[in-house]
Amino acid sequence: MKTDHILLDHGGGGKISHSLITETMLPIFDNAIISRLDDGAIFKIEEKQFAFSTDTYVVDPIFFPGGNIGDLAVNGTVNDLAMCGAVPLYLSVGLIIEEGFPMTDLKIILNGMRIATKKAKVKVVTGDTKVVPKGAVDKIFINSSGIGLIPEHVNISGHNARPGDKVLLSGSIADHGITVLTQREGMNFDSPIVSDTAPLNHMVKRMLLACEDIHVLRDPTRGGVGTALNEIAISSKVGIRIYENKIPVKDEVSGICELLGFDPLYIANEGKLLAFIEADSADEVLKTMRKDEFGKDACIIGEVISDNPGNVFMQTRIGGIRIVDMLTGEQLPRIC
């Protein structure tokens, strides 16, 4: 897509975002590691496999039910490393703070990060702080990068899905995105929805003990489950079939999506993962996930097929079929 300016769509996680990365950024950085476009970079140093990931957090509002921007910054990067099969070890944190930002708010955010690192069992070992004049950023932006060690024999990548694999989802979708949306100025719902931000590395570790050969792990953040499945279908050159009646969506989330005309399949999650597992091992991994505090509602939502590679289909509740395409730009609420 040709445009002279960056649009919000370029950050939306959908096709337009994807095209900015593949058409503009990849050709510039041009190497075999980055071009795999997994959640993190995977490389070897002296026979040990590492995962390295970075993410920048600009969420608005910065405080929301279930957490704040600090929690996201820790959990998000921990999860990106976990999706590579890595044990997350060390994080860096970069803060860009707007002049006038209240010190008390900064302390709440930092304390949130401290608690999150303890829960995830990682350490923030280096950081940077910049303060910019009022208006140059919106309150506070946080970048976090992380490094983790991938155990031997673990080979997880978006390129590894195979026909016959089962697709597992760790719990209800769209909780985070809808929580943030409802808190934003102009939308006041009295709903008990909270963000699902959570570190998934401990659950992943147990999953790998149950089945060393997990093919794909992905946390469906911006762009939601729909976008994540499409990325995997394209990378692995497979088709994916999912079942509408198997996908868990909380009633409150469903209600707000209906009201505004949003499709929960494309809304961000911050404490959920998709796992692609060989059929024979799927039930064992599912049992393991359900024992974890962040996988209690885990379920099998579909399977990988060899037909129509690169496409994702959903069998609807009434037995019909629809395509689950990749989101193009940002979802916009309906008019009527």
Partner 1 sequence: MSIKHLEEYRDPEISRSIIDNINKISQKKIRLMEVCGTHTMSIFKSGIRTVLPETISLLSGPGCPVCVTAQHEIDAFIALSRTDDVIITTFGDLMKVPGTTSSLQGERANGHDIRIVYSTFDAFDIAKKNPGKKIVFLGVGFETTAPAIAASILSVEEMKIKNFFVFSAHKLVPPALLALMESSNVKIDGFILPGHVSVIIGTKAYLPLFKKYHIPSVVAGFEPSDILQAIYILVKQIETESPRLDNAYKRAVTFDGNKKAKQIMQDVFEVVDANWRGIGSIPKSGLKIRKEFEAYNAENVFEIETIGSIDPKGCDCGDILRGLKIPPECRLYRKTCTPMNPIGPCMVSNEGTCAAYYRYHSIE
Residues that bind partner 1 (CB under 8 A): 1-3, 5-9, 15-16, 19, 186-187, 245, 251, 254-255, 258, 260-261, 263, 308, 311, 313-323, 325, 328-329, 331-336
Of 136, 31, 146, the residue nearest 87 (C-alpha): 146
Cβ closer to partner 1: 31 or 245? 245
Residue 305 pairs in a beta bridge with 239
Cβ closer to partner 1: 266 or 294? 266
Strand order in the sheet with 87-98: 41-45, 48-57, 140-150, 87-98, 123-132
CA distances, 79 to each of 18, 37, 264, 307 (Å): 20, 15, 21, 31
For the CB of residue 67, give the shortest distance to partner 1 in the complex, in Å. Answer: 25
Of 83, 81, 93, the residue nearest 51 (C-alpha): 81
What is the C-alpha separation between 246 and 265, in angstroms, rounded? 12
Count of Cβ atoms closer than 10 Å to residue 14 Cβ = 24
For the CB of residue 16, give the shortest distance to partner 1 in the complex, in Å. Answer: 6
Three-state SS for 154-190 is CCCCCCCCCCCCEEEECCCCCHHHHHHHHHCCCCCCC
For the CB of residue 44, give the shortest distance to partner 1 in the complex, in Å. Answer: 37
Cβ closer to partner 1: 213 or 251? 251
For the CB of residue 272, give the shortest distance to partner 1 in the complex, in Å. Answer: 22
What is the C-alpha separation between 102 and 286, in angstroms, rounded? 44
Tokens coding 256: 């707000």
For the CB of residue 233, give the shortest distance to partner 1 in the complex, in Å. Answer: 13
Cβ closer to partner 1: 260 or 305? 260
For the CB of residue 330, give the shortest distance to partner 1 in the complex, in Å. Answer: 9
For the CB of residue 206, give the shortest distance to partner 1 in the complex, in Å. Answer: 33
Cβ closer to partner 1: 16 or 277? 16
Task: Report the first-to-last Cα separation within the chain, whole angstroms.
Answer: 29
Cβ closer to partner 1: 106 or 260? 260
Q: Which residues of 74-86 are buried (b: 16+ CB within 10 A; e: fewer)?
A: bbbbbbbbbbbbb
Cβ closer to partner 1: 126 or 316? 316
